[in-house]
Structure formats: structure tokens, C-alpha cells
Amino acid sequence: MTFFSHLRKAAIATAFVLGATAVHADEQYFPLQSYRVGPYAAGGTGFFGGFIDYLNLINIRDGGVNGVKLTWSEGETQYEVEKGVEVYERLKSTPGIAAWNPLSVGIAYAMIDRITDDKVPLITINHGRTDTTDGRVFPYVFPLLLNPYSETSGIVNYIASKEGGLEKLKGKKIVVLYHGSPYGKETIPIYELLSQKYGFELSQIEVPHPGNEQQAQWLTIRREHPDYVVLRGWGVMNPVALKTAQKTGFPADHIVGNVWSNSEEDVIPAGDAAKGYTAITTQASGEQYPVVQEIVKTVYGAGKGNLEDKSRIGSVYHNLGIVNGILNVEAVRIAQAKFGNRTLTGDEVRWGFEHLKLDPARVEALGAKDLFHSINVSWDNHEGDGYVTFQQWDGKKWNVVSDWIAPDWKLLRPIIEKSSEAYAKEKGIKIRTAEDADAVVSN
Amino acid sequence: MAVQALDAERLPIDWQKLALPAVLIAVAYGLIPTYASSYLVEAILLPFLALSLAAVGLNLLTGYCGQLSLGSSAFMAVGAFAAYNFNLRVEALPLVATMILAGISAAGIGILFGLPSLRLRGFYLAVSTLAAQFFVQWALTKFGWFSNDNPSGVISAPHLTVAGFSLDGPTGRYLLSVTMVIVLTGLVWRLVNSAIGRNFIAVRDNETAARVIGVPVLRTKLLAFAISSFIIGVAGVLWAFTYLRTVEPAGFNLDRSFQILFIIIIGGLASIRGAFLGAAFIVVFPLVLSRLGAFAFGGLFDSGVLDMSQRIVLGALIIIFLIAEPNGLSALFDRLKRRIGSRSS
């Protein structure tokens, strides 16, 4: 880059800062609590890169959403809660905020009270508090596509499909190797429930954080001789698990990873040991999907791509960012259809998310066929019945090896409601009705 | 005779020294609630106050009594989760009582993990307080009861009311926080100027000599652990209830313990003012630097590069400060004051 292009960028940035005070009526703003530094930078650059790439695509190709331009700015959090809160407090008064997308549980937790007071949606795609799925109690929090319970059910359904049906699970043996944290332990009762329901033998083994020593756990696994091992890992625990499995002679193609054990960063450090390893995902990897191709052509072609390393286009986190972009943009579009093609309030966008229904045909029209399946959010179901698929690592890239699988949402809903109702009682929250959800604050 | 002298006489109160705190308290109650933006309160003052209080607590133990501890964030966690459970399970318990009970719970755990201090010193003690760090986090995760069986293992702050007034807004939470900090800091200030405080210092400076002059070393150490943990526990309640509002056990990890230890090392050991200066340096300064950096170079680099360079600047500043004044910001502050004083006279 030349000096002048720097100067131009600085001028644009200044203009943006000045312009922000006198906001144009046709801009929708996305505050980004990104993390490009620190231990989780790989995930952060991929996810926020994909998100920004998609917003850029909408601006360049379509001139925004129905003429409403999308804007954003980033605040670095390093995945630290205090920094995330600081960025929230700094950016929250910017006009025209559509939604918050922190991709960090700690930061998301600290924002729940704040965004509820401010009436702006908080999107925790594929993660977050499970009970925020219940929109009756958490009006502004959206764990889109997949919460930990659905993930569990999806994994069990996948193993069943490999064995030839749910009834074939009877007598099979599954070991769950989980990270010793609230995140890791969250699904223990669900695996137990499913084990009772389908009659498979279950053993759940904890790996203390951070998980860089797992010899003992894998020796136990070898003794128990399970049919499958589910890896519910995080960070360094994942490659170490794969390597230790290889050392103890457990085949990688019988290890199934969960949604935080499914990225390139989890398998590449394990080298050969990861070959054949399968993991769940809500969005397929690769750049063959039309929307990713358009991003490559339109955004990267114009030199506006966000990823520095272009080989990461189509990686797990990059595609998650793109899908997250699609969901945010479509929620805005749906809300615009009701409230008008203008800058929307946070509460109006919340209404948009609560009517975010993208069937497979609509997903295909968006150029994302096979990238993700569909979503069907409603005022009381903030997860939106996301489908999952499974990818196998061949040593170089992930390849989809299953159909789109539906978790057993009906089975899980009562457990979620029990937890959210306990929260409502604790906090003295009135449980929302459909009419409450239709009352929208439009300034 | 020496014992009598220690017991009988309090150090004289230097009224001049109270001028600055008085001004600060006036600002804290007079100006900030009226004029401060919600950004200043929510993003800077609330974490600053909670960590300052934790640092005051740790300074009592490490700075005054010489017992190195790496369990601060565990005691914060005990405070936070205890307050949550007292509030949840005891009907109509006033908020202040909740906080005090939470502090007492933390003090109990503090005494338990302070027991090794009777045998261990220095780095060995630090390692044994690490046990508190891991044990508490493990227990809070292991037993769902602590988080009322929340599937995600998190706790949320209840509505904060004192004597019928709701303190849920930023100003209310700030006032609650600042009041707790001032009251507890005042008590600590009285304590370190009392006979007990001098016992702490005696134990720190030379345990054998302290024993010879009749200081009850074991009791003094456990007392230091108890009081320090009490204060850190209350700081944990402030952190969870007034600042973050929803917390997970993982938020109280070893990094936080180190952060509090660094606050008192950089701010100045055995100095109450040092805890506040150190907290300002560790919590507030990076934010200021980040804002300045973003303002000056925002368009030129992406936010990652900018943040990386701030880390370098911060690291360099810590080294420079500690070379210039190994006794911390508090001593630096004193030197600055003397220099200004001598020039004006």
C-alpha cells in the first residue's frame, strides 16, 4: 500500500467518525467486538473476516440492503471480557445498531443484561447460554442455528445413521471426552438422557483444562473399548486428543468432534493423527458455494477482502462468519419488509430475527445451498432449528460425509424451558407472550 | 515491654495525608454520579473499583503481612457465588447482609487455604495458594448447586436494592460499588495503622523476631488471610453484581489472580494508595492507550496490529516504571510530590 492509500483510508475513517454524528437515514451499523490478537486470534480473524466479507459483498454488489448501506467498526477484545464490555459501552450509542455478534461466551454473558436494557439483539451463533433458546424469557438473545443440547442430539443421530438407524444404537458403547469447564460439562445430562432413550452404553470422561496431557484418559478409553469417542474439546485439548488417540491405537475415524473441535486449527497441529477424524458443523467448508465464489470475485477481486491469508477463504471459521453475515443481513431485510427500507431500531431488528425463516429454496437463492441447510426462528424459539452436517478431515481439507441431520428438538425443549423458567423466577422476569413479541419499539 | 508499647500506642494520624482521599471521595460522590457518562461508569469505573478493592485485600496479605498469594481470583469467585446463593436461597436478605455473608464465606475459604502458610513461606506458599485457585474453580464447575443447576454453569446478578431504592442503573451500581470500596478501604486503613497492622508488618519483616517480641505469628497470619479474603470476596461480589452481571467460573481464572498481584506490585506493596494506582494502570491505562491509538492511527492499521503495539508500549512502560522506582507507582507518586514541594518552597 502506498502512502496515499493510507492517507485516503485515514480520511475515510475520519469522515466516518464525523459522519457518525450526523448519521444518514440509510445506514445500518454492526459493532464488532473482534479479536485479532491473543490466543484465539485464529478463530477471530476467520469469523470476523467472513462476516465483514459478506457485509462488503452486500454493499458492493447490491448497494446495501434495499438501499440501506451496511456499516461496521471493530473494537479489539483479545477475547477478554473487560475489553469486550469496554467496546460495548463505547459503541453502544452509535446510531442504527442492528445486532451484536461477539463470538465469545464470556463477553456474551456480560452483555445479556445490557442488551436487554438497550433492546438490541445479541447473536451467539453456535454457542452461548443454552436456555437463551427460549425467547419467552430472553427476548434479545439468539443462539442461532445450534445450541449445545441440539449439538449433542445431532451427534448421536449421526452415529446412529452410521450404524444404520437409532435402534441399532442399542448395546453400542460411546465415550464422551469433555473439557473440564462449564462448557464441557453442559451436555452431560443430555448424553445420559439419550443413552437411556436409545440404550447405548455411555461413559463420560473429563479432561482438566487446558488438556495438554491426556494419557490417562486415553488408556481408560482403550480399556473400555468403545465404538465411538465424542470429543467435546476446546483449544489445545483437541489436537492432543487426536495425537494421544493415535498413540493408544484408537482409530481417528471413530472419533466425532463437537462444534468447538471442528476447525482447521484443531486438526492441523495433530498432523497425520487427524486423518479420518470427523466433526459436526452447521456450515460446510470449502469455497465451491456460489456465495463464497461471489465474495472471492467481487470483494477480494476489488482488493477489499478481509482475510490476509487468502488460503483461509472457505475455512470453517470463515464460512461461519459468512453464514453469520447472511443471517444478520436477512434478519434486517425481513424487518425492513415490515417496518420500511430505512435504518431500523434494535428492537425492529429483533423482530426481524424472530421472523428469520430461510427455507432451503431461499438459502439456494442466497447462493448458500449446501453451505448451510435452513433456519426457522420464531418469537419463542431463538435457535431456529438448525440442521447439522459432518465433515471428515483428509489431511488437507474437510469433506462433507453426511446428509443434513436434524437434532431431536422436541425432546430437548422441556429441559431448556425448565432452566429458562428458573432464570425468569430468579430475576423476576415476566414470561413473554406472542403479543409482547409483536410490540416493537420504533422510536 | 515492647509488646506493651506495640499494643498501647496507635500511630499518630497524619491529617495532611487525608486531604487527597477527602478530595477524591468528594469527587466520587459529588461529580461522578452527576457528570460521568455511562461509558465511563460501566467500562472503566466499575472494573476499576472492583479490582482496586481486590488489590487492597491482597495488599493487606502480601504487602503488609508478607504472605504471597496466587488465589485472589478464587476468593473473588467464592464471594460472587456465595452472594448469589445467599440472595437466592435466603428470602428477603438485604443486599448489604448478602455481601457481608459472601465476604465471610470467602474469609472461611481463605483461612482454610491460609493454613499452609503456617509451614510454608514465599514461593512455596504461592504454589500452595494455587491450590485454592484450582480447587474453587473445579468445585464451582463440578457441583451444579452453586449455579442453581444452570446448564451453562453461569450465575446472574439479582436486582440490586438497598432500603427500597433500586440500584440497577449504572449510577446506582456505581454508588453501591464506590461506597463498599470506601468503607472497606477506610477499615483497612485503620487496621494497618493499629497494633494488628504492626503485627502484620512484624511478621513480614522477620518472623523469628516477631515471635521473640511476642507477636502471635500463627494467629496473625490466619487473621491476615481471613481479612484479606473477606475483602477480596466482597470485591468478587462487586465484580459479578455491579460490573459484569452474568459470570461464569472460568472468568475467575489464574490470569485474574496474576492481574491482581501485578496491580499491587506495580502500584506499590504495603500501600493502600498503591492498590488504586496499580489498578488504574492495569485496568484503565490500556483502555486509554487503546482509545488514543485508535484515534491517532485508526485508519492506518487494522485493530489487531494496533492492539499488539499497545501491548508492547504497556510492557515497556511497566519495565521503565519498575526500574525508575522498584517500590511502585505509589513511591513514584511520593517522590513526585516531594519534588514539587521542594521546588515551591
Task: State the pLDDT confidence band at B303, using cuts at 50, 70 and 90.
Answer: low
Predicted-assembly ipTM surpassing the 0.90 threshold: no
Percent of chain A whose predicted confidence (pLDDT) is above 90: 81
Query: Among the listed ranges A23-27, A390-394, A397-401, B173-177, which one has the minimum average pLDDT value?
Result: A23-27
Contacts of B308 in chain A (CB under 8 A): 37
Residues A71 and A113: beta-carbon distance below 8 Å: no
Would you say residue B159 has pLDDT above 60? yes
Task: State the pLDDT confidence band at B345, using cuts at 50, 70 and 90.
Answer: low
Put simply, the answer to whether A182 touches B152 (Cβ < 8 Å) is: yes
> Does the CB of B314 have a partner CB in chain A at under 8 Å?
no
Structural domains in chain A? 3-146+286-376+418-438 (3.40.50.2300), 148-281+390-407 (3.40.50.2300)
Residue boundaries of the structural domains of chain B:
36-252
Is pLDDT larger for residue A234 or for residue B297?
A234
How far is Cα A115 from Cα B226, in angstroms, rounded to an integer?
A: 38
Mean pLDDT of A360-384: 96
How far is Cα B203 from Cα B211, in angstroms, rounded to an integer?
A: 8
Contacts of B141 in chain A (CB under 8 A): 180-182, 185
For chains A and B, what is the number of CB pairs under 8 angstroms? 131
Query: What separation in angstroms does the CA of B154 have from each of B173, B182, B247, B250?
Result: 20, 29, 6, 9
Report pLDDT digits (tens) over A173-198. Answer: 999 999 988 788 889 999 999 999 99
> Does the CB of B161 have a partner CB in chain A at under 8 Å?
no
Q: Chain A residue closest to B40 (CA)?
A: A89
Query: What separation in angstroms does the CA of B60 have from each of A110, A124, B12, B77?
Result: 30, 41, 20, 19
How far is Cα A230 from Cα A153, in angstroms, rounded to an integer?
A: 12
Provide the mean pLDDT of chain A: 91
Q: Chain A residue closest to B240 (CA)?
A: A110
CA angle at A32 for the pair A117 and A391, rounded to the nearest 5°: 110
Contacts of A85 in chain B (CB under 8 A): 42-43, 47, 243-244
Nearest beta carbon to residue B141 from set A12, A76, A181: A181
Q: Which residues contact B155 (CB under 8 A, 6 or more apart)?
A: B80, B81, B84, B146, B147, B148, B240, B246, B247
Put simply, the answer to whether B300 touches A6 (Cβ < 8 Å) is: yes
Put simply, the answer to whether B303 touches A34 (Cβ < 8 Å) is: yes
Q: Chain B residue closest to A129 (CA)?
A: B152
Whose cell is 425443549? That residue is A413
* Bond prior to A210 in cis (omega within 30° of 0): yes
> Does the CB of B116 have a partner CB in chain A at under 8 Å?
no
Put simply, the answer to whether B150 touches A419 (Cβ < 8 Å) is: yes
Mean pLDDT of B256-277: 92
> Does the CB of B335 have a partner CB in chain A at under 8 Å?
no
How far is Cα A47 from Cα A126, in angstroms, rounded to an integer?
A: 12
How far is Cα A96 from Cα A70, in angstroms, rounded to an integer?
A: 10
Residues A255 and A159: beta-carbon distance below 8 Å: no
Contacts of A41 in chain B (CB under 8 A): 304
Report pLDDT digits (tens) over A306-359. Answer: 999 999 999 999 999 999 999 999 999 999 999 999 999 999 999 999 999 999
Contacts of B45 in chain A (CB under 8 A): none
Please give the grid coordinates belonging to residue B22: 477527602
Mean pLDDT of B269-278: 93
> Does the CB of B39 have a partner CB in chain A at under 8 Å?
yes
Put simply, the answer to whether B154 touches A11 (Cβ < 8 Å) is: no
Residues B160 and B94: beta-carbon distance below 8 Å: no
How many beta carbons lie within 10 A of that of residue B19, not counting itself?
10
> Does the CB of B166 have a partner CB in chain A at under 8 Å?
no
> Does the CB of B244 have a partner CB in chain A at under 8 Å?
yes
Task: State the pLDDT confidence band at A140, using cuts at 50, 70 and 90.
Answer: very high
Report pLDDT digits (tens) over A207-257. Answer: 987 888 999 999 999 999 999 999 999 888 999 999 999 999 999 999 999
Task: State the pLDDT confidence band at A6, using cuts at 50, 70 and 90.
Answer: low
Put simply, the answer to whether B307 touches A76 (Cβ < 8 Å) is: yes
Look at residue A25 in the predicted model and tell me its pLDDT: 60
How far is Cα A279 from Cα A258, in angstroms, rounded to an integer?
A: 6
How far is Cα B116 from Cα B166, in angstroms, rounded to an integer?
A: 43
Put simply, the answer to whether B247 touches A109 (Cβ < 8 Å) is: yes
Mean pLDDT of B283-303: 74
How far is Cα A255 from Cα A245, in angstroms, rounded to an integer?
A: 9
Would you say residue B300 has pLDDT above 90? no
How far is Cα B155 from Cα B153, in angstroms, rounded to an integer?
A: 7
Nearest beta carbon to residue A182 from set B38, B153, B299: B153
How far is Cα A301 from Cα A245, in angstroms, rounded to an integer?
A: 43
CA angle at A376 for the pair A373 and A381, rounded to the nearest 5°: 130
Contacts of B42 in chain A (CB under 8 A): 85, 89, 114
Look at residue A266 in the predicted model and tell me its pLDDT: 93
How many beta carbons lie within 10 A of that of residue A308, not counting itself?
11
Nearest to A320 by CA among A146, A135, A182: A146
Residues B173 and B49: beta-carbon distance below 8 Å: no
CA distance A143 to chain B (A): 13
Report pLDDT digits (tens) over B27-69. Answer: 999 899 988 888 899 989 999 999 999 999 999 999 999 999 9
Nearest beta carbon to residue B43 from set A85, A112, A129: A85
Mean pLDDT of A98-118: 92
Q: Which residues contact A129 (CB under 8 A, 6 or more apart)?
A: A108, A109, A112, A138, A141, A143, B150, B151, B152, B154
Put simply, the answer to whether B249 touches A182 (Cβ < 8 Å) is: yes
| Beta strands A398-400 and A389-393, pairing class | antiparallel
Contacts of A114 in chain B (CB under 8 A): 42, 245
CA distance A336 to chain B (A): 30
Task: State the pLDDT confidence band at B2, using cuts at 50, 70 and 90.
Answer: very low
Provide the mean pLDDT of chain B: 88
How far is Cα A267 from Cα A246, in angstroms, rounded to an integer?
A: 13
Q: Chain B residue closest to A107 (CA)?
A: B244
Nearest beta carbon to residue B141 from set A83, A110, A180: A180
Put simply, the answer to whether B250 touches A81 (Cβ < 8 Å) is: no
Put simply, the answer to whether A10 touches B156 (Cβ < 8 Å) is: no
Contacts of B153 in chain A (CB under 8 A): 181-183, 185-186
How far is Cα B61 from Cα B270, in angstroms, rounded to an integer?
A: 9
> Does the CB of B152 have a partner CB in chain A at under 8 Å?
yes
DSSP code of A270?
Answer: G
How far is Cα A23 from Cα A38, in angstroms, rounded to an integer?
A: 33
Report pLDDT digits (tens) over A60-72. Answer: 999 999 999 999 9
Q: Which of B45, B46, B130, B248 best tests the A interface by mutation, with the highest count of A CBs <10 A?
A: B248
Q: Count the helices and strands in chain A (H runs, E runs).
A: 16, 13
Put simply, the answer to whether B303 touches A9 (Cβ < 8 Å) is: no
Is pLDDT larger for residue B33 or for residue B11?
B33
Would you say residue B142 has pLDDT above 90? no
Put simply, the answer to whether B43 touches A34 (Cβ < 8 Å) is: no
Look at residue A208 in the predicted model and tell me its pLDDT: 86
Contacts of A12 in chain B (CB under 8 A): 299
